[in-house]
Amino acid sequence: MTYSRKTKRYQFWINLILIVMTLAVILPFLLVFISSITDENVLIRNGYSFFPEKVSFYAYQYIIRQGEKILRAYRITIFTTVIGTCLNLMFSALLAYPLSVKTLPYRRQITFFVFFTMLFNGGLVPTYLMYVNYFHIKNTIWALIVPNLLLSANNVLMIRSYFMTSIPEALYEAAKIDGAGHAQIFWHITFPLGKPILVTMGLFSALGYWNDWTNGLYYLSGNQGQKLYSIQNLLNQMITDIQYLASGKVAGNIGAEVAKLPTTSIRMAIAFIAMLPLFIIYPFLQKYFAEGITLGAVKG
Amino acid sequence: MKKKNRVKEYLPLYLMMLPGLLYLLINNYLPMAGIILAFKKLNFSKGILASPWAGLDNFKFLFSSKDAWIITRNTLLYNIAFILVNMVVGIAIAILICEVKDKKMKKIYQSAILLPFLMSMVILSYIVYALLSAENGLVNNTILPLLHIDPIQWYQKPKYWPAILIIANCWKGVGYGCLIYIASLIGIDPTYYEAARLDGASKWQEITKITLPCLVPTIITLLLLSIGRIFYSDFGLFYQVPMNSGLLFPTTNVIDTYVYRALIEQGNISMSSAAGVYQSLVGFVIVMFSNWIVRRVDKDRALF
Amino acid sequence: MKKRILAAMLTMSALAFMTACGNSETGESKDSAKNGGSGDGPYTVTMVLNGSTQPDEERIEQKINEILEPELNADLDLVMLPWASANQQLQLMLSGDEKIDVFYTQATNAVQYMNAGQIVDMSELIDKYGTNIKKIYGEDTAKINQIDGFVYGVPNQIERGSIPAVFMRKDLVEKYNIDTTQIKEPKDLERVFETVKAGEPDMTMLYSMNDNDTPLTRLFRGDNLSDNSYLGVLMDQTNSTKLENFFATDWFRDTTTMLYDWYKKGYISQDAGTNTENWRTVFKAGNLFSLFFAYHPGTPVEFESSTGYEFEIVPFYNEPIINSSSYNGVTFCIAQNSENPEKTMEVLDYIYGSPEIMNLLNWGEQDKDYVIEDADNGIINFPEGITSDNAGYNLNLGWELPNQFIAYKWAGSDPKLWEKMEEFNDSAKSSKAVGFLFDSSNYSSEIAALSNIVKQYSGALYSGSGDPDELIPELLKALDDAGINEVIQAKQEQLDAFLAAK
């Protein structure tokens, strides 16, 4: 397709601005990666830099030696993220659609019921006491999935808003005339047309699960709990363990190994490893996003 | 006869909502009973319910000091700035991305804006430190000399931090709104644009007369959702990024960090609960008020 | 068709909830079986410590129970909370009905728990079951951690007090022929810094940071009465019991001025106000000359093993002072939700007197996790083929356990370490306020405000990166407005009452 000269110049400026934006986003991540392969002593002396004096992979070697724990943590994280996100999307969509139907009785009250949860919060202690003493989820995999992340009023209301504004009433009316019930309308019309917002909210939900470290912090403890650490919990623990070992509080000489622990570069390597799988997956998710785009464009 | 039809028509909808509502009831409403913690002088040996009442004592510390005004002002102003800046930047970038014709580049940009979500605040604080550190920072060592300015002790001068924190927050958080705006922009009927172009409208007119008005519902929804959190702050942003530097408190201490610093030695559950209630209450009042206003203007656009 | 899918989705979600409850039921029943409850079976004492969970924890617990069961009809269950989350998790565990009996904490936390009714008064328990504890400390000191008669925790065996000292890299001291006998007080170090800096222009002379190991707090010789905000301290604790406003003292002004002067001269890093790197890491990087730190017999080895350098140590005083925090820095408390506090106390006291259990707890099984290198001096090391990476059990947290003085020492320690510790402790002078802890429950609002103010200025002043002439007047005014004088007066009243009751 050939464009006019005006369009080409227009596209040039747009792309330029967006490329600058992309660089502004990518450079910090690059810095994290480079710091993780910078020699520890150089890092302390000269601070963070894009051009390190001395490169060292010691941080990654240390992490690889913890290999099995890390693989298990990845498995747990992937499991909780996949299951959690699916459940989250399902519940959110199922809750959002009825709320987008303008004629639903008690619609305003139920929406308020949902919205109110964003404003008032019982606090950590009551939530913890309820989940641990009544539902007994401490040290189980559900502790990573259920509290707070399984449904968020924020997502539900965003989805509802999208359903209400981007899906034309005409389609619903046509379907009703054809004799379709609500369930069928939802499945045949709303769900396909709502793909962009569903994928978006699904993405945020997945990110929420992937990055979460507080559920593990509060609900997993001791030996049993350790086996269920997600990757964030594990990395958090590795960092504090390393800091503790390097702090020398331990009496006596545990060996030259401890003296060599590269605390700062390990922190960076750990952060990088936590983000890595998402970097890899995201471009593939883009495909579904694009599908939603084209589906949304073909209407009427 | 009519009633039976209504039930038959709406029953599937209620069934659909059931799991979600049940979850919210359990996860959010049951623990809300815990708000009474804020009004009690806790004694766990007697149990929460039997502990003596403390009236409003636990709230005193939030209002009694000179700092109370500063932290409230900081919290409010920052949140307003965040909402406005992220909205403007988010919409601008969303529009730009939708205008891009090259599909490959479009994918790259869409992936890029979400990347900052992956970075935790702790790591972000290291990055900011890499830029602003007095001895080794990029700004003091490379950028300022180029502009012939003396090095600045960034972590000791409060006046620069509103700008720094707004930029940091925008970098990290703009992707959220942006992606939602993109999803909405996609949903705009392309026939509007075709009609406009036939009428000879310029790009700028297209944006102001079609795109923005169509985005208004989404903007309002996002706005109302954010307003409820207007008394809360991202703890990591205000605690980690300024490296917990005391001299910066006048412009970086917000309610959440003040409560944390106040209670870290005292560990008083009732007091932190009281702070939470205070924040929720204010957010609640403001949101109800805003929603009421939106309702007056356009009934459909309100949240409820 | 669609209705069926809908129904399927709904049933799936219902199932999800069912399994959630179901799963945890089975998890719970396993725990209760172990418990035994009241009756004939051994009672499981759950001991909660801070540290990293060891892979072979269960094996060691079994070995410990082999001793405990016949002796006391009890079992020990160790729960390790990771450092980062320990405080939060502990507070949650003490708020409900969870199984927790005895745990480690420090004084300020213990007092919070006491005020919230989360721990048990141990005075009677010590009387009835604390034979070993009373033997080690004497009846008075065993109950020293108390407020108004409520004993909130028992102390453990660690160094009591320490001496502020300067630690300098030995190789550099020799290189520049520094005469350490000339160093009597911190100010004398200026000439040393000048000499070394001239020869090593890129090196930082003195370590500084804005929290914890700040130069100022490390030089402080007074007694801060376990208050990390230093609201009302004893400057001359062996002689006087009058509390002073720390920030208004001459010592504070002089020391901050000295540090700021060094900061301007470049002896202290320009990043001192925001530094987060541990001094061990900075020493290892080779970029640091000296540090103010606390000296006690265990420190030289600690320094060498964590940095790789040898150090020349010059203490600024001749003997340590035992402060009020010396006995309550590490305490063991009993939770209010413990089902059997008497049995718990029995087990705790037993550990104080049992080298077998102490060694199991700290080092693991003999010959499996460690071998004895030097039987006379009690020195041990890893067996062939085991290192810190693959060790099944190597807790190495002697300072956190009840009585490390009766256990083995790890290779590299001074062979006479425990003897030297005891000597060191015996040579110490005592603060008049030993055992005192301020009960702040009536001043929560004031302390909330004061904590924030102190935090605002302490970073810059303690590290030397802020100008005292500018900051101290501001700080004093802010503290006055927030009510520091009322708090100090209340503290003085409580202190006087505490001393009168002794």
Of C96, C387, C410, Cβ closest to residue A252:
C410
Would you state the pLDDT for residue A67? 77
HSE (side-chain half, CA atoms, 13 Å) at C320: 22
Bridge pairing between strands C288-295 and C163-169 = antiparallel
Residue B22 has pLDDT above 90, yes or no: yes
Would you state the pLDDT for residue C40? 67
A253 CA to chain B: closest CA distance, Å?
31
Of B43, B135, B265, Cβ closest to residue C451:
B265
Would you state the pLDDT for residue C15? 45
Q: Which chain A residues are within 8 Å of B6, Cβ to Cβ?
A: 105
Residue C355 has pLDDT above 60, yes or no: yes
Question: By the 8 A CB rule, do A205 and A149 touch?
Answer: yes
Q: Tell whether B7 lies on the interface with A, counting CB pairs under 8 A.
A: no
**Residue C330, both tokens:** 């590490």
- Return the residue of A nearest to C202 by Cα: A45
* Alpha carbon of residue A161 to chain centroid: 22
In the numeric block, the tokens 């005014």 are attached to: C477
Residue C163's beta-bridge partner residues? C295
Residue C193 has pLDDT above 70, yes or no: yes
Bridge pairing between strands C43-50 and C288-295 = unpaired
Q: Which chain A residues are within 8 Å of B133, Cβ to Cβ?
A: 47
Residue A147 has pLDDT above 70, yes or no: yes
Question: By the 8 A CB rule, do B23 and A91 touch?
Answer: yes
Q: Tell whether B98 lies on the interface with C, counting CB pairs under 8 A.
A: no
Would you state the pLDDT for residue C341? 94
Q: From B112, B144, B139, B141, select the one nearest B128 (Cα to Cα).
A: B139
C494 CA to chain A: closest CA distance, Å?
32
Neighbours of chain C (3+ CB pairs under 8 A): A, B
Would you state the pLDDT for residue C227? 86
B25 CA to chain A: closest CA distance, Å?
9
Question: By the 8 A CB rule, do A81 and A209 touch?
Answer: yes
10 Å CB burial of residue C55 (0-12, 13-18, 19+) is middle
C496 Cβ contact list (under 8 Å, min separation 6): C241
Torsion, CA C68, CA C70, CA C74, CA C80, rounded to 10: 20
Residue C428 has pLDDT above 70, yes or no: yes
Of B67, B135, B247, Cβ closest to residue C460:
B247
CB contact under 8 A, A246 and C16: no
Rounded to the nearest 5°, which phi and psi values hold at B278?
-55, -50
CB contact under 8 A, A218 and C5: no
Pick the more confident residue, A268 or B25. B25
Q: Which chain C residues are within 8 Å of B249, Cβ to Cβ?
A: 452, 455-456
Residue C278 has pLDDT above 50, yes or no: yes
Would you state the pLDDT for residue C30? 37
Amino acid at A43: L
CB contact under 8 A, C210 and B245: yes
**Mean of pLDDT values over B153-163:** 92
Pick the more confident residue, A119 or C492. C492
Q: Which chain C residues are within 8 Å of A93, Cβ to Cβ?
A: none
Q: Tell whether C374 lies on the interface with A, counting CB pairs under 8 A.
A: no
Interface test with C, best of B13, B127, B247 (most C CBs within 10 A): B247
Residue C370's beta-bridge partner residues? C366
Q: From C396, C393, C427, C397, select the one nearest C330 (Cα to Cα).
A: C397
CA dist., res. C182 & res. C470, Å (int): 33
DSSP state of C383: P
Residue C451 has pLDDT above 50, yes or no: yes
CB contact under 8 A, A275 and B97: no
Torsion, CA B114, CA B118, CA B121, CA B127, rounded to 10: -80
Question: By the 8 A CB rule, do C230 and C213 touch?
Answer: no
Rounded to the nearest 5°, which phi and psi values hold at C54?
-90, 145
Pick the more confident residue, C444 or A88. A88
CB contact under 8 A, A135 and C280: no
Binding-face residues of C in 126-155 toward A, CB within 8 A: none
Q: From A4, A11, A172, select the one nearest A97 (Cα to Cα).
A: A172
Q: In what order do the strands lie in the sheet with C163-169?
A: C204-206, C288-295, C163-169, C311-315
**Mean of pLDDT values over B195-204:** 86
CA dist., res. A155 & res. A148, Å (int): 12
HSE (side-chain half, CA atoms, 13 Å) at A292: 23
For the segment B48-61, what is each residue's pLDDT rounded down to a tens digit?
788 888 888 889 88
Q: From C45, C494, C471, C464, select the one nearest C227 (Cα to Cα).
A: C494
pLDDT band at A240 (very low <50, low <70, confident <90, very high): low
Q: Tell whether C16 lies on the interface with A, counting CB pairs under 8 A.
A: yes
**Residue C196, both tokens:** 């070394």
Would you state the pLDDT for residue B115? 84
Does an H or E element contain C165, and which?
strand C163-169
Residue C1 has pLDDT above 60, yes or no: no
Residue C424 in 3-state DSSP?
helix
Q: Which chain C residues are within 8 Å of A129, Cβ to Cβ?
A: 95-96
C290 Cβ contact list (under 8 Å, min separation 6): C166, C167, C168, C169, C189, C192, C205, C206, C207
Average pLDDT, chain C: 85
- Return the residue of C nearest to A43 by Cα: C285
- Return the residue of A nearest to B10 by Cα: A104
- Return the residue of C nearest to B62 by Cα: C445
State the SS3 of C202-248.
CCEEECCCCCCCCHHHHHCCCECCCCCCCCCEECCCCCCCCCECHHH
- C368-399 per-residue burial string, b: 16 or more CB within 10 A, e: under 16: ebbeeeeeeebbbbbeeebeeeebebbbbbbb
Maximum mean pLDDT: which of A216-220, B113-117, B123-127, B168-172 = B168-172
CB contact under 8 A, A40 and C387: no
CA dist., res. A262 & res. A39, Å (int): 8
**Mean of pLDDT values over A193-210:** 86
Would you state the pLDDT for residue A2? 59
**Residue B256, both tokens:** 């959440």
Residue C20 has pLDDT above 80, yes or no: no
CA dist., res. C11 & res. C19, Å (int): 12
Maximum mean pLDDT: which of B181-195, B256-270, C196-210 = C196-210
Would you state the pLDDT for residue C300? 83
User: To 5 degrees, how large is the angle CA C461–CA C462–CA C468?
Assistant: 25
Of B37, B189, B304, Cβ closest to residue A123:
B37
What are the helix and strand counts (H, E) for chain B?
Answer: 15, 0
Residue C126 has pLDDT above 70, yes or no: yes
Bridge pairing between strands C163-169 and C150-151 = unpaired
Alpha helices in C36-144 (DSSP H): 57-72, 86-93, 107-115, 123-129, 131-142
Q: Which of A280-294, B9-23, B236-250, C282-296 has the lowest mean pLDDT?
A: A280-294
Residue C109's beta-bridge partner residues? none
pLDDT more than 70, % of chain B: 97
Binding-face residues of B in 235-254 toward A, CB within 8 A: none
CA dist., res. B237 & res. B253, Å (int): 11
A2 CA to chain C: closest CA distance, Å?
46
For the segment C311-330, what is each residue's pLDDT rounded down to a tens digit?
999 999 988 999 888 888 88
pLDDT more than 70, % of chain C: 91
Would you state the pLDDT for residue C490? 94
CA dist., res. C177 & res. C180, Å (int): 9
HSE (side-chain half, CA atoms, 13 Å) at B264: 11
CB contact under 8 A, A94 and B108: no
Question: ipTM above 0.90?
Answer: no
**Mean of pLDDT values over C425-434:** 88
Would you state the pLDDT for residue C215? 92
- Return the residue of A nearest to C82 by Cα: A237
CA dist., res. B293 & res. B289, Å (int): 6
Would you state the pLDDT for residue B48? 79
**Residue B113, both tokens:** 């804006």
Q: Within a 10 A sphere around the Cβ of B298, how many other Cβ atoms?
A: 11
CB contact under 8 A, C95 and B253: no
Question: By the 8 A CB rule, do B302 and B295 touch?
Answer: yes
Would you state the pLDDT for residue A291? 54
CB contact under 8 A, A136 and C83: no
Amino acid at B49: L
CA dist., res. A171 & res. A190, Å (int): 9
**Mean of pLDDT values over A38-50:** 83
CA dist., res. C119 & res. C108, Å (int): 13
CA dist., res. B113 & res. B175, Å (int): 5
Pick the more confident residue, B298 or C164. C164
Residue C190 has pLDDT above 90, yes or no: yes
B157 CA to chain A: closest CA distance, Å?
21
Q: Which chain B residues are within 8 Å of C109, Cβ to Cβ?
A: 267
Torsion, CA B123, CA B125, CA B129, CA B132, rounded to 10: 140
Pick the more confident residue, A50 or B167. B167
**Mean of pLDDT values over C214-228:** 90
Q: Tell whether B141 lies on the interface with C, counting CB pairs under 8 A.
A: no
pLDDT band at A40 (very low <50, low <70, confident <90, very high): confident
Q: Tell whether B195 lies on the interface with A, counting CB pairs under 8 A.
A: no
Residue C36 has pLDDT above 50, yes or no: no
CB contact under 8 A, B243 and C453: no
Q: Which chain C residues are within 8 Å of A137, Cβ to Cβ?
A: 20, 24
C1 CA to chain B: closest CA distance, Å?
14
CA dist., res. B114 & res. B130, Å (int): 22
Would you state the pLDDT for residue C121? 94
CA dist., res. A146 & res. A152, Å (int): 11
Of A41, A137, A240, Cβ closest to residue C82:
A240
pLDDT band at C11 (very low <50, low <70, confident <90, very high): very low
Alpha helices in chain A (DSSP H): 5-36, 40-46, 58-65, 67-100, 107-119, 124-129, 142-145, 153-166, 169-177, 182-185, 191-193, 195-211, 214-219, 222-226, 231-246, 256-260, 263-297
pTM summary value:
0.83
pLDDT band at C39 (very low <50, low <70, confident <90, very high): low
pLDDT more than 90, % of chain B: 22
The C-alpha R_g of chain A, in whole angstroms, comes to: 25
Average pLDDT, chain B: 86
pLDDT band at C155 (very low <50, low <70, confident <90, very high): very high
Binding-face residues of C in 229-288 toward A, CB within 8 A: 277-278, 280-282, 284-287
pLDDT band at A259 (very low <50, low <70, confident <90, very high): low
C416 CA to chain A: closest CA distance, Å?
13
Amino acid at A221: S
Strand segments (E) across C379-427: 379-381, 409-410
**Residue B104, both tokens:** 């490959």
Q: Which chain A residues are within 8 Å of B20, Cβ to Cβ?
A: 91-92, 94-95, 114, 151, 156
Binding-face residues of B in 202-261 toward C, CB within 8 A: 243-247, 249, 253, 258, 261
C445 CA to chain B: closest CA distance, Å?
4
- Return the residue of A nearest to B95 by Cα: A14
CB contact under 8 A, B31 and A121: yes
